[in-house]
Structure 1
Amino acid sequence: MAYRDLRDFLRRLEEAGELIRIRTPVSSELEITEIADRVMKGPAARNKALWFENVDGKGIPVVINLFGTPRRMAWALGVEDLEDLRRRLEALLRPELPQGVGEALERLGQVLGTLRSIGLGPRRVSRAPCQEVVETEQPSLDRLPILKCWPKDGGRYITLGQVITRDPRTGKRNVGLYRLQVHDERTLGVHWQIHKGGAEHERAAREVGAERIPIAVALGGDPACIWAASAPLPPDIDEYMLAGWLRGRPVEMVRCVTQPLEVPASAEIVIEGYIDPREQRLEGPFGDHTGYYTPPEPFPVMHITAITHRRDPIYPTTIVGRPPMEDYWMGKATERLFLPLVRLFLPEVVDYNMPAEGVFHNLVIVSIRKRFPGHARKVIFGLWGLGLLSLAKCIVVVDEWVDVHNLSEVAWQVLGNVDWKRDVVIVEGPVDHLDHAAPLRAYGGKIGIDATAKGPEEGHPRGWPERIEMSPEIRALVDRRWEEYGLA
């Protein structure tokens, strides 16, 4: 399902009872964060998207927690369940020949739909809602209800902006979801971490001697575009092509008014500007998704040349902090969609889970179909070689029958099945930029744990015990007689 814009998505949420409008005047400084944090961490029945109609008296409403449940996150990407993302991509990647005419026609329809949606890439338009109002003389960030999220933050932060740049060597676009600190009304600190596409464009600009990096920040648009900015795609894959595939139609783009870039035409607000690759300022501190403040570090500065927006813009935002929060479900959508891609390289993988407790990069639990001695170690090192999974701080491998999403079952298997001298791999390598435990920035220790059953070839000559399971006949008997027991 393709939404025309953010408003179309908000309309669906409101009709489904998944959005609450708050008319009481509120402050963008800390108050919205506390309200949203309680809603995100509170009872499931109270976890709704929030629409603040009166923020700081600026006349621009704020929406938050759009993706804060699996249901809303799935709807944002045009499916009813996050597992549907995996199924859609698996159907596209299936290598086996279709069985029969019906399946062949179905597969052909899927391929044609994909070609229609992403084969031609995003589509250029000449006029766009995001440019109904154009400010180039005195563009000011002070007119936007940008949040200060946590008490010791270095200032106000844009947290849900699609940050758009192009590689100065190849011209290929990158879209990232990077936080942006307001230094003053005309400059933003751009926190793109060392492993991200924007940081690569900055390095490339210095290599080729470019004096400026054009940059644009799009707020709003189809929620698939917002989410796609967070997806850890390979450098040569356009995030808006992925959004187009999810939408089932190309993303409409319009040329910026002051920079040689394109932005989603249906965005609510667009901030245009440039970065001098030789200039950096301290950015931070910032209350991060780890649940701790990230300390100040030097990052590039965006100089604003224009702000364009709809006549009645809506400001979308999010907050991060101690999990679980809204960003967990954005990451879970990535996890589900990317499972078929992981299986392309590691077909023995059954499933994987990156739980909120591990803030994604700290813990990856993987189940595999084990076929030979050392198979779990092969998977551990294979995952450490795949894209941003290379930053995983801990990888735990379990047997195929273990439910990786049941943390109690995983803990039972790991704590009972691991010999800590034999089954642990400790290495040094790249870790997440935000890992405050690493002794060096973005480089530290990593652990792999083989919690699979072992045989003599792996140093366990005693023989592995058999799992306790009731016989199928008795289970079926009890199923039939359950109501007779008076326990129903």
Structure 2
Amino acid sequence: MTPPKNTFDFINTLEQKGWLKKISEPVDPKLEITALSEPVMKAGGPALLFENVKGSEMPLAINLFGSSERMSLSLGVDNLDRISDRLRELMAMELPQGLWAKVMTALPKLKELSAFAPRTVKDAPCQEIILKDKEAFLDRLPILTCWPDDGGPFITLPQVITADPETGRQNVGMYRLQKYDARTTGMHWHRHKGGAAHYRKALSLGQKLPVSVALGGPPAATYTASAPLPPVLDEFMFTGFLMGKPLKVVKCVTNDLMVPAEADIVLEGYVDPAEPWRTEGPFGDHTGFYSLADEYPVFHLTAMTQRKNPVYPTTIVGRPPMEDLYLGMATERIFLPLLQMVLPDVVDYHMPAEGVFHNLVFVSIKKEYPGQAYKVLNALWGQGQMMFAKVIVIVDEHVNVRDPQEAWWEALNNIDPQRDVIFTKGPADALDHAAQMPWLHTKMGIDGTRKTPEEGFTRPWPDRIEMTPEIQNQALKKLKKWGLL
């Protein structure tokens, strides 16, 4: 299966499969599109293409990634585990054991990965129309005001591209952009993100930081912007890996950044570290609560380039499940092999929707020695964005952590709270409104594994209740024959 090369390709394929609904009736980008889209998302409904958005000539696409099938299709596979398998094959080489930094340093050397380095082109669909200076203004875009108390309209599905001012190495992240006026937005990058690191370096050098924002293009590029890649792994190279071929990129018109050639729209501009920050937010966030207003840098638009007939891609977030659930599921499946490189103890992991990615993580391990659950807990809190995990629950390898009901049932049966729960402190996600201090909170680790005599447990440990497989299979056949299943 070939991944879609751009938004049009993706939409056409979704329509052929009956996974897309076109709406020609006029709709308002202020609140109405959210009110229309949220019930569809929560019901597992189709992608939506609003063809007549008030105030803009561009059609708007939403919920493109809003199911397991569409998420897989966007990356050219029938099952996301196929990508995990490809990563395991790519990593079929001996690597030094040790710290995460050592393993991550080895990543660019993995065989064949360099074959997916981005390929530069001179002529690109994203530059069929070029608007500079006063001709470039954000009012052309059907930017959504998602929720009643939002601080304004927000661009919610961007690929924000910056480069290290000293090395030139690019970073791509998904940071929301609040529209202030026709030529400026907020730049909501958290201090732990790659774009923020580039901003701090530009500040120390006393220079402006060029920024480009790509909208649409290959769905794999949109997904990659949301993925928690280690710093040494180039996002566009990883996009090429997902697509099975190099991503085509083109140099921007008003800065030297490279952007996906097949993007629908590209916003070019800069952030000036010498400029005072502006209030950004509130914003109805994926936690299901508003993230509070705060001060952030300002993005200035210098040019807008686009295809002749662009589609504006967007999403909404709120109380889960929403479309971003499926982007998170993709990250789980795709990055499991990388996590297992560092922690071979890990069998599987899952971040259920109720935990909104950073609040709850279930992890199954192959337990071989006393205290292993605590070793894994502490190691996980040291791995990239896993440092934000508020609650981690460790269970034995036979537990299906992708089924939260089973994982909780097993863990809660296996714990003595005083004995099996630990607390520690560490960095907090900026969206954790319950944290006692911004950026810092307490984390809880739960050892829900079977306890052993070596861990001081001397009582007999009971077995699970399970029916004899032969009898169960015979019973299932009879129940189906009787119409009871």
Over 3 Å counting, the alpha-carbon distance change for 1:362 and 1:484 in structure 2 is closer
Deviation at 1:401, TM superposition (A): 0.9
Q: Could you say what secondary structure the match of 2:187 adopts?
A: strand
Rounded Cα–Cα distance in structure 1 between residues aligned with 2:408 and 2:265:
46
Q: Could you say what secondary structure the match of 1:60 adopts?
A: coil
Match 2:65 to one of 64, 67, 82: 67
Q: Could you say what secondary structure the match of 1:2 adopts?
A: coil
**Per-residue deviation, residues 27-67 of structure 1 (Å, max 9, x unmatched):** 0000001111010012x4xx100000000142110000000
Q: Which amino acid aligns with 2:290?
A: Y
Please report the TM-score for the alignment, with normalisation by the length of structure 2.
0.93
1:10 equivalent in structure 2: 11
Deviation at 1:484, TM superposition (A): 6.9
Q: Which amino acid aligns with 2:48?
A: L
Over 3 Å counting, the alpha-carbon distance change for 1:481 and 1:380 in structure 2 is same
Rounded Cα–Cα distance in structure 1 between residues aligned with 2:483 and 2:265:
61
1:100 equivalent in structure 2: none
1:212 equivalent in structure 2: 208
2:356 equivalent in structure 1: 359
How do 1:47-62 and structure 2 match up within 5 A?
47-62=45-60
Deviation at 1:253, TM superposition (A): 0.7
1:335 equivalent in structure 2: 332
Over 3 Å counting, the alpha-carbon distance change for 1:26 and 1:484 in structure 2 is closer
**Per-residue deviation, residues 188-218 of structure 1 (Å, max 9, x unmatched):** 10100111110111111122x2320000000
Match status 1:468 vs 2:465: yes
Q: Could you say what secondary structure the match of 2:192 adopts?
A: coil
Q: Which amino acid aligns with 2:125?
A: P
Over 3 Å counting, the alpha-carbon distance change for 1:114 and 1:67 in structure 2 is farther
Over 3 Å counting, the alpha-carbon distance change for 1:315 and 1:118 in structure 2 is farther
Match 1:441 to one of 408, 433, 438: 438
Contact 1:252/1:265 (<8 A) preserved: yes
1:21 equivalent in structure 2: 22
Q: C-alpha root-mean-square deviation of aligned residues, in Å?
A: 1.9
Rounded Cα–Cα distance in structure 2 between residues aligned with 1:20 and 1:359:
27
1:274 equivalent in structure 2: 270
Rounded Cα–Cα distance in structure 2 between residues aligned with 1:238 and 1:22:
38
Match 1:291 to one of 272, 280, 288: 288
Contact 1:118/1:250 (<8 A) preserved: no
Over 3 Å counting, the alpha-carbon distance change for 1:186 and 1:467 in structure 2 is same
**Per-residue deviation, residues 70-113 of structure 1 (Å, max 9, x unmatched):** 000010011111222222222322459xxxxxxxxxxxxxxxx9
Rounded Cα–Cα distance in structure 1 between residues aligned with 2:241 and 2:340:
20
* Percent identity for Structure 1 against Structure 2: 53
Q: Could you say what secondary structure the match of 1:229 adopts?
A: helix
Rounded Cα–Cα distance in structure 1 between residues aligned with 2:467 and 2:214:
56
Rounded Cα–Cα distance in structure 2 between residues aligned with 1:114 and 1:321:
40
**Per-residue deviation, residues 277-333 of structure 1 (Å, max 9, x unmatched):** 132111111100011111111111011110111122110000111111001100110
Q: Which amino acid aligns with 1:194?
A: R
Rounded Cα–Cα distance in structure 2 between residues aligned with 1:331 and 1:301:
28
1:34 equivalent in structure 2: 35
5+ residue gaps, structure 1: 97-112
Contact 2:116/2:238 (<8 A) preserved: no
Match status 1:398 vs 2:399: no
Deviation at 1:3, TM superposition (A): 2.3
Contact 2:250/2:259 (<8 A) preserved: yes
Deviation at 1:482, TM superposition (A): 5.5
Q: Which amino acid aligns with 1:242?
A: F
**Per-residue deviation, residues 206-239 of structure 1 (Å, max 9, x unmatched):** 22x2320000000010000000001111112111
Deviation at 1:486, TM superposition (A): 6.9
Deviation at 1:479, TM superposition (A): 5.4
Match 2:87 to one of 86, 89, 92: 89
Rounded Cα–Cα distance in structure 1 between residues aligned with 2:30 and 2:52:
13
Rounded Cα–Cα distance in structure 2 between residues aligned with 1:219 and 1:61:
13
Contact 1:456/1:463 (<8 A) preserved: no
**Per-residue deviation, residues 331-376 of structure 1 (Å, max 9, x unmatched):** 1101100011111111121111001000011011001110000011
Q: Could you say what secondary structure the match of 1:67 adopts?
A: coil
Rounded Cα–Cα distance in structure 2 between residues aligned with 1:327 and 1:481:
41
How many residues end up aligned between the 2 structures? 469
Rounded Cα–Cα distance in structure 1 between residues aligned with 2:83 and 2:227:
13
Rounded Cα–Cα distance in structure 2 between residues aligned with 1:481 and 1:49:
40
Over 3 Å counting, the alpha-carbon distance change for 1:94 and 1:470 in structure 2 is farther
Over 3 Å counting, the alpha-carbon distance change for 1:472 and 1:41 in structure 2 is closer
2:105 equivalent in structure 1: none
Match 1:121 to one of 75, 94, 117: 117
**Per-residue deviation, residues 137-159 of structure 1 (Å, max 9, x unmatched):** 31110111111000110001001
Rounded Cα–Cα distance in structure 2 between residues aligned with 1:376 and 1:41:
35
5+ residue gaps, structure 2: 95-109
Q: Could you say what secondary structure the match of 2:72 adopts?
A: helix
Rounded Cα–Cα distance in structure 1 between residues aligned with 2:137 and 2:475:
69
1:254 equivalent in structure 2: 250
Over 3 Å counting, the alpha-carbon distance change for 1:53 and 1:477 in structure 2 is closer
Q: Which amino acid aligns with 1:65?
A: N
